Amino acid sequence: MQPAEPPALSIPEQQMIDLIGDQLKYHRFARPAGRLFGYAIVTGEAFTSQQAEEALGMSAGSVSSGLKPLLDMRLLRRVDVRGDRRHHYVHDETALDRMLEVSIVAMERHRAQIQQRLRSVTRPGAAKRIERLCRMSEIIGETMQEAARRFSSEHDD
């Protein structure tokens, strides 16, 4: 017995999926991955590659390449659906917490790399400007850490 196909997306749902797709670009995800993540969040149901292709008007290649980073980052996970041998994907409830953590770690790593190389830049005034950039990154990182704590505590309630 094949599982039921998900209902067609409404126009507001399609628009929300596109907005989520745009948002994920800031986290270095390609638009197809962002749209797939949006689809998973909006529908809240397990879906197959074929269902995503049809619902989002994406090619098989775009779906496949979009799924890979989402699975690698554990933002989506594969699930088994009884009576269907195809791969199904679903939004992982802890994905948003993990995405915020990954962003914090990436920002800190980049800031550390900049600071390591700071002394090798000898152009007059560059060190001061770079140190200011690092300080800004540090403040943003602290803000993101506070946001992660608050977001995580809201999820725990």
pLDDT tens track for 103-153: 888 888 888 898 888 888 888 999 899 999 889 888 988 888 888 888 878
Rounded to an integer, the average pLDDT of 62-87 is 92
79 — pLDDT class (breaks 50, 70, 90): very high
In sequence order, which residues have a C-beta less than 8 Å from that of residue 114 and are 6 or more positions away?
130, 133, 134, 137
Residues 6+ apart with CB under 8 A from 28: none
The pLDDT, as a whole number, for residue 145 is 87
Name the DSSP letter for residue 79.
E
pTM of the model: 0.72
Q: Enumerate the domain spans of the chain.
A: 11-91, 95-156
CA distances from 105 to 23, 68, 90, 102 (A): 19, 21, 25, 5
Its CATH class, for the domain covering 11-91, is mainly alpha
What's the pLDDT band for 155 if we cut at 50, 70, 90? low
Q: Helix, strand, or coil here: 58? A: coil
pLDDT of residue 1: 47
Cα(94)–Cα(100) distance, integer angstroms? 10
Per-residue pLDDT at 157:
52
Q: Are residues 12 and 26 in contact, defined by beta-carbon separation less than 8 angstroms?
A: no
